[in-house]
Amino acid sequence: MSEQWDVVVVGGGAGGLAAALTLARSRRRVLVVDAGEPRNAPAEGVHNYLGREGTAPGELAAIGRAEVQGYGGVVRSGRVVAASASKQGGFDLVLDGGEELRARRVVLATGIVDELPDVVGLRERWGRDVLHCPYCHGWEVRDRRVGVLATSPMAMHHVGLMRQLTDDVVLLLGDAYVPERQAADELDARSVEVVTGAVSAVEVADDALRGVRLADGTVVGLEALLVPTVGRARAEVAAMLGVATTEQRRGETLFGVVIEVDGRGETAVPGVWAVGNATDVSATVIASAAAGMKAGAVVNADLVAEDGRLAVLAHRDGSRTFWERFYGDRDQVWSGRVNPVLGATAEDLEPGTALDLGAGEGGDALWLAGRGWKVTAVDVAQTACDRIAERAGDLGRGDRSDGAGLPVRTERHDLTETFPEGSYDLVSAQYLHSPNADFPRTAILRRAAEAVAPGGTLLVVGHGRLAPWSWDPSLRMATADEVLASLDLSDGAWEVVRCASPERTATGPDGQEATITDEIVEVRKRP
């Protein structure tokens, strides 16, 4: 059974976490899947990040994860190994651990991989004293002897940036670039040393860069080396979803291959966004975070619009359409276990006839039937009724000599229009709620009370204070006292057994815990 999410964010760097934080603060069910391969992992600190200047990359990521989780978001280690559009709408994703996910929207924050020149030892020093960005790391090597490895005609730009930070700059030309007359004059005027010959290896001593070795064996002494790279987006998941990549160039110089997005971060595939340097190789950490926040807001706005359309559809077409879609989108929704309050209540009752309103997939009805009750299970969705009937047959055959299933009869009713006939020793309405704002719950519960046989019990359990992961935690639900008053029961005909609003700790789909409230009304009809 797939886990259901409003948004799955692929990538747990600054961009992905910022998007997730924005969505979590809007009470969206958001999951961040992080493969744990940040581009800036070797760096000592994150720079030009206002308020967090110099923070270690791992520390900044930990702060971001904690903030996301503090608002109910979930961050999980893993890798997306399969992704596709779902036939039911949204997207299906599979993690490397086998977990199956369903997401209404996807945000790609997968980052880039730097394509380095073929120089021995270069990658081992990457992010330490072999650098790619003067804005990210230039201050840390100020006033030192710094080399710039030419990989394109953009070498002059990088030389100029480093010359702001140190008087001792060495341009290593190799065979990637030959300065024209004007550029050569500028290098000479600014006292930039120019070295020809291919660079074959870096020289290291005492875990520090000491220089580079040329192909002819010459060693050029250096304390740091700037190496402009080509950044290539981690685009495997993008490709699975049919999202295109594009080249990022300045003139004829290739800077990177990135995920193609519009100004809001949206890709050409509806429902998929991308942020961070996976979409722009020049994006620094703070720029990626800003893009993530913006995309999170845009994604939430898109979901708000869809929620509005669904609400209108549910209102127009009635509860049946909503709940048929609700059950039809997945093979199993509920746990199959009996609701605890019903279980505890029924244990003290003599088995008889029972009516289960809003039976769902039959967890309560099947539990009652297994203990000798003859149950009528009612739901608005035919899909739910079919599942109850199938499971009743499967569960009961092994215990009965006639090979029949459990004694459960299913009836499909839209309780706003029709109600099952007869009277019952137990009438149960467990969490009988609807996203339809006009759902006449009070009228239905009054009709339920009328269906209780003399000596029988009506048990109503509803949501009070909802958990953050609930379908709409902002809803204000009726209290037990309000439910009891709305039933308008005759004092002489009924005994109030319980009217309470107990708190309990609930566990969400990802192990998170929250304190919620149940609203319980148990009344007995006098014989």
DSSP per residue over 279-348, as a string?
Answer: T-TT--HHHHHHHHHHHHHHHHHHHHHHHHHHHHHHHHH-HHHHHHHHHHTSS--S-SPPPHHHHHHHTT
Q: What is the pLDDT of residue 314?
A: 61
Give dist(CA 174, CA 214) in Å, integer: 9
Average pLDDT of span 75-96 = 92
Give dist(CA 81, CA 464) in Å, integer: 39
* 461 has pLDDT over 80: yes
Q: What is the pLDDT of residue 38?
A: 85
Count of alpha carbons within 13 angstroms of residue 197, beta-carbon side: 13
Which is it for the CA torsion 325, 327, 333, 339, positive or negative? positive
More confident residue, 48 or 297: 297
* 472 has pLDDT over 80: no
Q: What is the pLDDT of residue 402?
A: 41
Of 294, 387, 273, which is closest to residue 6 (Cα–Cα)? 273
DSSP 60-82: HHHHHHHHHHHTT-EEEE--EEE
Partnered with residue 375 across adjacent β-strands are 354, 408
Strands 74-77 and 230-233: unpaired
- Separation in Å, CA 270 to CA 11, 50, 173, 242, 251: 19, 33, 45, 10, 31
For tokens 């903030």, the residue is: 67
- Separation in Å, CA 352 to CA 106, 385, 412, 524: 50, 21, 22, 14
* 416 has pLDDT over 90: no
Which residues neighbour 421 within 8 Å (Cβ) at sequence distance 6 or greater?
Answer: none
* 467 has pLDDT over 90: no
Cβ contact 301:265 at 8 Å: no
Give dist(CA 357, CA 18) in Å, integer: 43
- Separation in Å, CA 489 to CA 118, 146, 342, 454: 84, 86, 21, 14
Give dist(CA 110, CA 212) in Å, integer: 32
In 340-430, the DSSP E strands lie at 353-357, 374-379, 408-412, 424-430
Average pLDDT of span 110-118 = 91
Q: What is the pLDDT of residue 208?
A: 94
User: pLDDT by residue (tens digit) across 313-355?
Assistant: 666 555 677 777 778 777 787 878 899 999 999 999 999 999 9
Give the rounded percent of residues in the chain with a pLDDT score beyond 90: 67
Environment class of residue 264 by beta-carbon count within 10 Å: exposed (0-12), middle (13-18) or buried (19+)? middle
Q: What is the pLDDT of residue 449?
A: 96
* 186 has pLDDT over 50: yes
Q: What is the pLDDT of residue 400?
A: 45
Q: What is the pLDDT of residue 72?
A: 93
Q: What is the pLDDT of residue 313?
A: 61
What is the band of 514 on the pLDDT scale with cuts at 50, 70, 90? confident
Give dist(CA 212, CA 148) in Å, integer: 11
Round the average pLDDT of the chain to a whole number and report it: 89
Partnered with residue 102 across adjacent β-strands are 4, 92
Which amino acid type is present at position 254? L
Strands 208-214 and 424-430: unpaired
Cβ density class 268-279: b for 16+ within 10 Å, e for less: ebebbbbbbbbb
Phi and psi at 302, nearest 5°, equal -65, -40
Which residues neighbour 455 within 8 Å (Cβ) at sequence distance 6 or greater?
Answer: 425, 524, 525, 526, 527
Cβ contact 332:1 at 8 Å: yes
Which of 46-60, 234-248, 428-442 reaches the highest mean pLDDT?
Answer: 234-248
Give dist(CA 32, CA 513) in Å, integer: 18
More confident residue, 491 or 107: 107
Average pLDDT of span 16-25 = 97
* 526 has pLDDT over 90: yes
Average pLDDT of span 181-194 = 93
Listed range (208-222, 251-265, 314-328) with the worst mean pLDDT: 314-328
The full set of domains in the chain, from first to last, is: 3-114+230-310 (3.50.50.60), 117-226 (3.50.50.60), 326-525 (3.40.50.150)
Give dist(CA 469, CA 509) in Å, integer: 8
Of 299, 231, 303, which is closest to residue 265 (Cα–Cα)? 299
Of 111, 16, 17, which is closest to residue 67 (Cα–Cα)? 17
